[in-house]
Amino acid sequence: MVGKPAQIGVLALQGAFESHIKTFSSIGERAIPVKNVDELMEIKKLVIPGGESTAISMLLEANDLRSPLIERLSQGMPVFGTCAGMIMLSSRLNSNNVDSLGIMDFDIDRNAWGRQVNSFTDKVKLSFDSKSFFNGIFIRAPKIKSVGSKVKIIAKYKTEPVMVSDGRHIACSFHPELGNDNRIHSYFMEKIND
């Protein structure tokens, strides 16, 4: 692993970035923390982790990363956003204190699954692997209100969409990096191409 060049970066300004790095390592992929423009330019794919969307939004500005990130995205760099990362990818967000990146055509409600005390774990059905359910961990999770015509629902909790893709990017309401199941990270590496 040490000699393998990193293709994946995990935005490491705030949130659960270390858990994503460990999950990628479990599937033989080297991921690096991204805190500055130089590190952003080294990678081919990016993860925006869960955490606090307001803080992530402000820290992108404070670290002069917003414009370079938008430029990389316009060049086609794939992104995987989980929880707060999902909020950052949304194109329609009703919030005064979060400036999302607006790269995926879906509407989101922050913290709509409940407050921290309402966190829960339950079975999520993946469209790309029907063999077994995924154990979804929902912590102050956002809810998808609507999706655009080019966005595909790739996972559901009961009847609710909780993971979507537009073919280049993935956004997920729950935290796949907090369990031992690496199928979603593998899907991002195998099916989402730059």
Residues annotated as catalytic are 83, 175, 177
Residue 83's region, left for phi above 0, alpha for psi from -120 to 50, else beta, is: left
Q: Are 46 and 68 in contact (CB under 8 A)?
A: no
Q: Is 75 exposed, middle or buried (0-12, 13-18, 19+ CB in 10 A)?
A: exposed
Q: Where would I find the beta strands (DSSP E) of the chain?
A: 8-11, 31-34, 45-48, 79-82, 90-93, 104-109, 120-126, 129-138, 143-147, 152-157, 160-165, 170-172
